[in-house]
Amino acid sequence: MPSKLLIGLLGAAVVLPSRALRTQKSSSAEGSAEPGIEDYSFDDFIAEFKRPYQEGTDEWDMRKELFHARRKDIVNFNAVPDRSWRKGITKFMDFTEAERKRVLGYTGRGSREAGAPDEAAALRGSAVHLPSEYSVRRPKSKLVHLARDQGNCGSCWAMAATSTFEGQMGVNASLMDELEAAMKLDKRVPSVPTLSSQGVVSCTENKRHCGG
C-alpha cells in the first residue's frame, strides 16, 4: 500500500517555481529570515516578478517608491529580536493600497446564523488548554512552510485541500523517507513534492465554479 500511495502522490506532484510563491527564503528547517534583503534592489524585483514597467516613466518611479517603502518596513520588522516570524520579499511589494485591498478578504455570501450545535461546540472547545506555541515542522518536512498564492483565482477550496494533504505528507516521516529514496533514483522526482491544486480543480465537478 505505501508504494501505491507513493506512486499516486508522485503522479500528482508538480514543481513550483523556486521563488515565485515564496514569502521568505529559509536557510534552515526552522526558517530563518532571508539574508541580504537590504541588498535586494528594485531591479531584482522587476526581474523576479516580471514587471512590465519602463524605466523613466511615472509608473516606474511610483512603483519603485512603494517597493522601497515596503522593503524598509521588512528590514525594520526583522531587526526586532525574538520575533516569532519574519517578513520576506513578495510580489505585493509594489502594489498600491487599492490593489492590495482587492486581493484581501472573502467577498462571497454573507455569514450564516450560528445554530445551537455550533454554540455547543464552542463551549466545549473553550475548556481546552492550548499551548502558547505549536509547530508542525518536522526535520524532514519540506511542505508545511510553503505559502501558496492563488492570485485572483477563486478556488480557495482546492488550495486548502492540497495544502492540508501536503501537511499530512510532511509530518509522515516514513513517506518522506520513501520520497527521498525515490529522488536519488529518479531525477524527475521534484525535491519539493508539492501537490497540484489545478489537478483538483480540473478533476472535480464544480457547477458553481466557486469563482475559480
d(CA 187, CA 129): 46
Q: Where along the chain do its domains lie?
A: 1-29+137-212, 31-104
Q: Where are the alpha helices (DSSP H) in the chain?
A: 2-12, 42-49, 58-79, 97-102, 116-125, 156-170, 173-185, 197-202
Quote the pLDDT of residue 24: 40
CATH number 3.40.50.2020 is the correct assignment for the domain at 31-104: no
Enclosing H/E stretch for 109: none
Quote the pLDDT of residue 125: 55
Measured at the alpha carbon of residue 159, what is the angle toward residues 83 and 77, in degrees to the nearest 5? 15
- Which single residue is written with the C-alpha cell 489537478? 199
The string of pLDDT tens digits covering residues 131-166 is 887 776 666 666 666 667 777 767 788 888 888 888
Quote the pLDDT of residue 112: 53
**pLDDT by residue, tens only, the chain of 212 residues:** 444 444 444 444 433 333 433 334 433 333 334 448 989 999 999 999 999 999 999 999 999 999 999 999 999 999 999 888 889 999 999 999 999 888 776 656 555 555 555 555 555 555 567 788 777 666 666 666 666 777 776 778 888 888 888 878 777 778 878 888 888 888 887 777 778 888 888 777 766 656 55
The string of pLDDT tens digits covering residues 31-44 is 334 448 989 999 99
